[in-house]
Structures are given as C-alpha cells and as structure tokens.
A = this chain, B = another copy of it.
Amino acid sequence: MSLRRKVWGIIEVAKPGDRGSRYFDIFILSLIFLNVLAVISSSVQFYLEQWEVFFDVFERFSVFVFSIEYLFRIWSCVEDPRFQEPVFGRFRFSMQIMPVIDLLAILPFYLPLFGFEDNRSLRVFRLLRLLRIAKGGRYFVSVRLIGNVVQSKKEELVLAFGMVLMLLIVSSSLLYVCENEVQPDVFSSIPATMWWAIATLTTVGYGDIYPITVMVKIMASITAVFGIGLFALPAGMLGAGFVEEIQKRRQMERSCPHCGKTIP
C-alpha cells in the first residue's frame, strides 16, 4: 500500500477497527474542541488579557496542524475513486463543502500576510474562525442527522415556513397600521413590528415592544392565541423529525452489522 493511500486512510473518518485512523480522529477532534473553548473564552475580555500569549501560541499551533491536515487531504484525495484525476480531481475535491470549510477555517490566519489587515476584515476573520466548530461535523452523528431530517421533512417545512411568513406579514402589517399612531417610536415600521410579532408568536416575549391600545391588545391577543400554533409548526416538525431519525438509528443498531439481520 502506497504512503498516499495510508495517509488517506488515516485522515478519513475511522472505519471500525482502524486504530491509527481513530487516534488521529481523536487528536483532531480534541484540537477542534480546544479551539472552540479558546474562541469562547478569548471573547471574555478578562481571559483574553490574562492568557494573551497562550491564546496566540495555541492559535499558531492549531493553524499549523489544520494546515498540514488540509494539505494532506488535498494531496491524498486522489485515492478516492471520485477524485482520481491529479489536477481536476483535486480541484473538484477542494470545492466540496467540507474541504471549503477546512480552508476557510484557517484562511483568516494567512490573509494578513497578503496585506488584508484593516478592522472590517478582522471581524470577518473572527466569524471564519467559528467554522472550526463546523470541522467537527465530520465526526458527529447528530450533525449528519440534521441533513436527513431536513431532507425527509422538506415539503412540510416549506409549507409550514410559508404559513409562518404569511402570518408574520399579515399580523405585523395590521398591528403597524393600528398602533403606529400611538407608539410611533416603537411600532415605527412594518419590519419593526415583525420583531414584535416574532417575539410574541414564538412566545419568547422580551417585553421591549408591546401594544398599549385596547383594540390592538385585543387583536394581538387573538393573533397570539391562534397564531402560536402555526409558529410552533416548523420547530415542532424539526423536533418530530429528529425523534423519528433517532428511533430509525436505534432500530438499525439492533440489526447485525455483518449479515444485516435484526438482533432481537
């Protein structure tokens, strides 16, 4: 077996029994986890100042490892029958969703070398660093579930989201027209009223914006009593989809991985 094939086997998500690949996965996952912790804790001013040097060293180390991982992926991807051609295959591989995330997650570190260092791009960089969380998606079942769920509930989700949008527009427009004269600063426009409608119909209710006229309170109440059910539909469908997927997975786990027969 060539070195390239070995590297590809190690870098890919481990198959059951492949020890070397598994250790590598655990190493990368731990590094991703520590990166997430670093991103979260470095957002706290206190920790950022206290551990500035440590964060800097850890960032350099992470980017170094992720860069090597990325280069190895690009180099060895031709072992995958789908990307066999040396140049065009590698290019198509690098356009896949996960390799793009891999690249974007390390790019912010290299861009200053090419002169991008103004304030605006720094903010985008911080956003891109968050993509390191997405790198972990390769290894987790829950994340792969999301795709399945959205796929299996696509039609219902579109219908439900359509109704949510319509209810949102209608109720916001009505409330804006009726309440705008009394509270011109708060219900200043239909989009502003939409924020009220979303906070109300999801039952979050921050309390930063609410009607004060009696008639509008009655309108808002009726909207709330009946509309909450429609707004709960997309969330409820996703929730139900996940429960179904989890049960499917459970039943699959009960079937023998060798002969495919169900284990009672």
**Would you call A208 and B208 a contact (CB within 8 A)?**
no
A86 close to B (CB within 8 Å): no
> Which bucket holds chain A's interface residue count?
35 or more
Partner of A126, one of B127, B177, B210: B177
Which residues of B have CB within 8 Å of A39?
A: 173, 190
Which residues of B have CB within 8 Å of A204?
A: 199-200, 203-205, 224
Interface of A is mostly: helix
A202 close to B (CB within 8 Å): yes
**Would you call B203 and A242 a contact (CB within 8 A)?**
no
Which residues of B have CB within 8 Å of A169?
A: 36, 40, 133
Complex CA gap A43/B143 in Å reads: 40
A81 to chain B, nearest CB (A): 32
**Would you call A250 and B190 a contact (CB within 8 A)?**
no
**Would you call B45 and A188 a contact (CB within 8 A)?**
yes
**Would you call B243 and A239 a contact (CB within 8 A)?**
no
| Chain A residues at the B interface, C-beta cutoff of 8 Å | 36, 39-40, 43-45, 123, 126-127, 130, 133, 140-143, 145-146, 155-156, 159-164, 166, 169-170, 173-174, 176-177, 181, 188-191, 194-195, 198-200, 202-208, 210, 214, 217, 221, 224-239, 242-243, 246, 250
Pairs across A and B, CB under 8 Å, 29 listed? A39-B173, A40-B173, A43-B176, A44-B189, A123-B181, A133-B169, A133-B170, A140-B162, A140-B166, A141-B159, A142-B163, A142-B166, A155-B250, A156-B243, A161-B225, A198-B221, A202-B224, A204-B224, A205-B206, A205-B207, A208-B210, A225-B231, A226-B238, A229-B234, A229-B238, A230-B239, A232-B235, A233-B242, A237-B243
